[in-house]
């Protein structure tokens, strides 16, 4: 007959290692486990071939990003995420489609609470095109950074399950989806009954969503991001329970930054075309080098060139 | 969420940690051979293998998280049908061992999908009712430790290139032996068949000359066919059980009480079957489903056969329901989107925008240090 006490007293102890085996860094010799024999070999190989483990730094950053908010609690109890709250994991893909990303499309991963409004996610999506500055500024470089696209074009929509959710919070917001719906209807494209709604009126709990299905976020008129929900689960005690930290970014693709052609050190802020002073076209410069090379002490333009403010995709790194 | 539909099936391969599946199956196999569900015995087998060391080695934190997640994901599958009762108990202990000895901080959680939760609760109920208190206790410990994530899907979707995704292969020896036949011929099905058959007989009587029995000309079906079907099912199970040599050790001490009630478990032959046939005739259809559960480890048998009868039904929610073609289509449309974008990019050239060519160097290897935003 089974003796209950032997479990109750020491169920974990019954599985724990003898004291001499408590260093988790060291794989025990003569282990019968296949997993460990394979790992031991793999680790030995790694140590032999790589002197400096280059993956290390990137991995440390990725780990830091994945775990930085875990277990956080709000200062104000009002902001505590309640038990039973839903947590969604979204992959938001970058719009930049370079050839080299054909197989691995870059994306960022965010956690959103079911009770959050779609607009909260919208405001958290950082995209270079929001910082894009239109126009050629070689004659007045000082005026360039003042109006960025995010302030100019506030319209945006999500597309989930046949419904366009338009951001209508500001009077200057346009219904970007109207053209699409009209196009669909006028040609009877077989997309059924497309509808539009206000983004600010809906939370994720209000939606009926499919895991793994590609949805869309569109802003700046034509900057399109595919959104895929990869997981939905109940919130857990170990999660970040500070409502203010959601949507929570937990993973992103590290985009390379374009360096200044002159100093090779700072991230490019300007790009020039038809530049008589530059060795290549287009040519990238940081702000300091750009001004030093292209203007005299009084700020007069030197030589012929077209200059555009440049926002590097790696700016969010 | 108003409705969460599932899409894309079970993403990802079974397990990409080399050797892990073999190690886990070896441990579960040994537990099966030990022919018990006692935690004490499991702990012995675990210690013999020094299984706690499965997490050892110089592994970086990110890698460790991933590896631990995959380990729990792998073992979690043995905790659910179609695996036999004993394997499921073994998997419960294994999950407990892995969860407790993992080195992640905070601990990685065990995913339980919404659709599997009723099954897990039923399992827990079974443990208690059959007085496997050690197993019930271990389950309770996991609950109290908040070891579970309650999820919409069994696995976190991950997107890798298609060829890496492989269908899971279940270990045949661990499966509940009578599973497929059992899921097809449930108590309900037999009950239904019996009713239809009765009804059919009555209909034939009504249109016959002699109202008390049907005309010979209408005799197109064997009267005893429900009983025969039952008989065939039993025979098949017996055959399968013999072939698998599962739990045929009569020495099992746990099992002695209530043998009579457990007669339909098909461990013994002859009289048991006659017994079962008699039961059928009395329209007591508890046999098939009960037998399937391989509950010979139970000390006390469930009073009602109801809990058994929906067991088969839960099986019919097949794991094969995954919508792979759909997933493939999604991928395709994303591809098209991508192509359309590149097309659009080459076509539309905004006025006031610079001409920038794509850089050749890969950006993935080189990681810039997090820099202060150099604005202005
Ligand atoms: Zn964008
Ligand atoms: Zn520079």
φ, ψ at A214 (rounded to 5°): -80, 120
Partners of B17 on chain A (C-beta within 8 Å) are: 35
Residue A146 predicted with pLDDT over 70 = no
CA distance A307 to chain B (A): 8
- Predicted pLDDT at B334: 41
Distance CA A167, CA A160 (A): 14
Query: With a CB-CB cutoff of 8 Å, which residues 86-125 of chain A face chain B?
Result: 86, 89, 91, 95, 97-100, 102-105, 114
Summarize pLDDT for B249-267 with one digit per residue, the tens. Answer: 433 444 444 434 433 333 3
Contact assignment for B334 to A2 by CB distance below 8 Å? no
Q: Which helix (H) or strand (E) holds B110?
A: strand B110-113
Partners of A232 on chain B (C-beta within 8 Å) are: 1, 4, 151-153
Q: What pTM was estimated for this model as a whole?
A: 0.64
- Predicted pLDDT at A103: 58
Contact assignment for B60 to A56 by CB distance below 8 Å? yes
State yes or no: ipTM above 0.85.
no
Compute, in angstroms, the gap from residue A278 CA to the centroid of ligand 2: 13
B54: nearest CB among A35, A100, A254? A35
CA distance A78 to chain B (A): 23
- Predicted pLDDT at B151: 94
Summarize pLDDT for B187-213 with one digit per residue, the tens. Answer: 778 888 888 888 888 888 888 888 788
Contact assignment for A32 to B354 by CB distance below 8 Å? no
A231: nearest CB among B38, B138, B157? B157
Question: Which region among A283-287, A309-313, B35-39 has the lowest average model confidence (pLDDT)?
Answer: A309-313
Summarize pLDDT for A174-203 with one digit per residue, the tens. Answer: 777 777 777 777 776 666 777 889 999 999
Average pLDDT rounded to a whole number, residues A126-131: 68
Compute, in angstroms, the gap from residue B368 CA to the centroid of ligand 2: 16
Contact assignment for B150 to A233 by CB distance below 8 Å? yes
Those residues with Cβ within 8 angstroms of residue A305's Cβ, 6 or more apart along the chain or in another chain: A138, A272, A273, A274, A275, A276, A277, A278, A294
Distance CA B300, CA B203 (A): 43
Question: Which region among A116-120, A220-224, B36-40, B158-162 has the lowest average model confidence (pLDDT)?
Answer: B158-162
Mean pLDDT score across all residues of chain A: 82
Which band of pLDDT confidence, cut at 50, 70 and 90, is reported for residue B372?
Answer: very low
B42 or A257, which is more confident? B42
Summarize pLDDT for A286-304 with one digit per residue, the tens. Answer: 989 999 999 998 889 888 9
Distance CA A152, CA A133 (A): 10
Partners of A159 on chain B (C-beta within 8 Å) are: none
Those residues with Cβ within 8 angstroms of residue B79's Cβ, 6 or more apart along the chain or in another chain: B88, B91, B92, B95, B120
Summarize pLDDT for A53-94 with one digit per residue, the tens. Answer: 555 677 788 888 888 889 999 999 999 999 999 999 999 987
- Predicted pLDDT at A110: 95
Token pair listed for B128:
């208690």
Residue B5 predicted with pLDDT over 50 = no
Quick one: three-class SS letters along chain A? CCCHHHHHHHCCCCCCCCHHHCCCCCCCCCCCCHHHHHHHHHHHHHHHHCCCCCHHHHHHHHHHHHHCCCCCCCCCHHHECCCCCEEEEEEEECCCCCHHHCCCCCEEEEEEECCCEHHHHHHHCCCHHHHCCCCCCCCCHHHHHHCCHHHHCCCEEEEECCEEEECCCCCCCCCCHHHHHHHHHHCCCCCCCCEEEEHHHCEHHHCEEECCCEEEEEECCCEEEEEEEEEEEECCCCCCCEHHHCCEEEECCCCCCCECCCCCCCECCEEEECCCCCCCCCEEECHHHHHHHHECCCCCECCCCEEEECCCHHHHC
Residue A221 predicted with pLDDT over 50 = yes
Ligand 2 ion: nearby residues, β-carbon < 5 Å: A 260, 262-263, 266, 286, 289
CA distance A27 to chain B (A): 5
Mean pLDDT score across all residues of chain B: 68
A250 or A255, which is more confident? A250
Distance CA A127, CA B89 (A): 49
- Predicted pLDDT at B310: 39
| Cβ-based neighbour number of residue A182 at 10 Å | 11
Nearest CA in chain A to B323: A212
Which band of pLDDT confidence, cut at 50, 70 and 90, is reported for residue B159?
Answer: low
- Predicted pLDDT at B229: 83
| Cβ-based neighbour number of residue B314 at 10 Å | 15
Summarize pLDDT for A31-56 with one digit per residue, the tens. Answer: 888 989 888 888 888 777 765 555 56
């Amino acid at each position: 007959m089974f003796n209950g006490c032997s479990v109750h007293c020491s169920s974990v102890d019954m599985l724990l290692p003898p004291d001499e085996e408590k260093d988790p860094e060291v794989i025990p010799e003569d282990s019968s486990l296949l997993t460990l024999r394979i790992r031991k070999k793999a680790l030995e190989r790694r140590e032999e071939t790589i002197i400096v483990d280059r993956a290390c730094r990137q991995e440390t950053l990725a780990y830091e990003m994945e775990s930085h908010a875990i277990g956080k609690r709000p200062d104000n109890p009002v902001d505590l995420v309640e038990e039973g709250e839903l947590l969604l994991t979204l992959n938001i893909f970058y719009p930049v489609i370079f050839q080299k990303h054909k197989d691995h499309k870059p994306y960022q991963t965010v956690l959103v609470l079911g009770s959050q409004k779609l607009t909260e996610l919208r405001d958290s999506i950082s995209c270079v095109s929001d910082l894009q500055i239109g126009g050629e500024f070689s004659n007045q470089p000082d005026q360039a950074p003042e109006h960025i696209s995010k302030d100019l074009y506030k319209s945006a929509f999500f597309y989930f399950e046949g419904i366009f959710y338009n951001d209508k919070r500001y009077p200057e917001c346009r219904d970007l989806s109207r053209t699409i719906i009209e196009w669909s209807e006028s040609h009877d494209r077989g997309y059924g009954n497309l509808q539009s709604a206000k983004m600010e009126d809906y939370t994720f709990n209000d939606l009926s969503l499919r895991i793994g299905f590609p949805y869309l976020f569109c802003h700046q008129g034509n900057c399109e991001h595919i959104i895929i929900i990869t997981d939905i689960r109940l919130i857990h005690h170990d999660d970040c329970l500070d409502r203010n930290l959601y949507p929570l970014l937990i993973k992103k693709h590290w985009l390379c930054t374009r360096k200044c052609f002159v100093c090779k050190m700072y991230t490019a802020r300007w790009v020039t075309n038809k530049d008589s002073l530059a060795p290549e076209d287009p040519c990238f410069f940081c702000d300091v080098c750009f001004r030093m090379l292209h203007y005299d002490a009084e700020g007069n333009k030197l030589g012929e060139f077209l200059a555009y403010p440049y926002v590097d995709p790696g700016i969010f790194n | 969420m108003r409705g969460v539909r599932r899409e894309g099936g079970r993403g990802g391969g079974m397990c990409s940690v080399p050797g892990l599946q073999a190690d886990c199956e070896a441990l579960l196999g040994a537990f099966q051979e030990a022919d018990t569900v006692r935690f004490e015995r499991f702990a012995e087998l675990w210690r013999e293998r020094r299984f706690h060391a499965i997490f050892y080695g110089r592994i970086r934190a990110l890698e460790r998280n991933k590896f631990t997640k995959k380990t729990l994901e792998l073992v979690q599958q043995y905790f659910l049908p179609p695996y036999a009762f004993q394997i499921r108990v073994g998997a419960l202990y294994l999950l407990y061992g892995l969860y407790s000895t993992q080195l992640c901080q905070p601990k990685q959680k065990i995913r339980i999908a919404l659709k599997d939760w009723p099954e897990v609760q039923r399992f827990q109920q079974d443990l208690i009712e059959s007085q496997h208190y050690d197993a019930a206790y271990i389950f309770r410990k996991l609950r109290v430790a908040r070891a579970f994530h309650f999820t919409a899907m069994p696995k976190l979707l991950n997107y890798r290139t298609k060829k890496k995704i492989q269908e899971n292969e279940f270990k045949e020896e661990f499966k509940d032996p009578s599973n497929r036949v059992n899921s097809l011929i449930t108590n309900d099905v037999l009950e239904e068949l019996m009713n239809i058959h009765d009804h059919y007989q009555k209909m034939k009587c009504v249109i016959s000359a002699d109202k008390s029995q049907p005309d010979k000309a209408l005799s197109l079906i064997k009267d005893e066919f429900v009983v025969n079907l039952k008989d065939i099912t039993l025979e098949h199970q017996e055959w399968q059980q013999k072939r698998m040599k599962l739990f045929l050790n009569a020495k099992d001490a746990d099992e002695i009480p209530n043998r009579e009630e457990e007669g339909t478990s098909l461990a013994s032959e002859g009289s048991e079957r006659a017994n079962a046939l008699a039961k059928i005739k009395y329209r007591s259809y508890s046999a098939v489903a009960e037998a399937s559960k391989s509950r010979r480890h139970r000390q006390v048998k469930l009073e009602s056969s109801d809990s058994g009868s929906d067991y088969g039904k839960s099986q019919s929610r097949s794991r094969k329901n995954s919508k792979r073609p759909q997933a493939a289509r999604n991928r395709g449309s994303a591809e098209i989107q991508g192509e359309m974008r590149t097309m659009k990019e080459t076509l539309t050239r905004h006025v006031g925008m610079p001409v920038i060519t794509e850089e050749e160097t890969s950006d993935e290897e080189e990681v810039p240090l997090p820099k202060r935003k150099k604005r202005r």
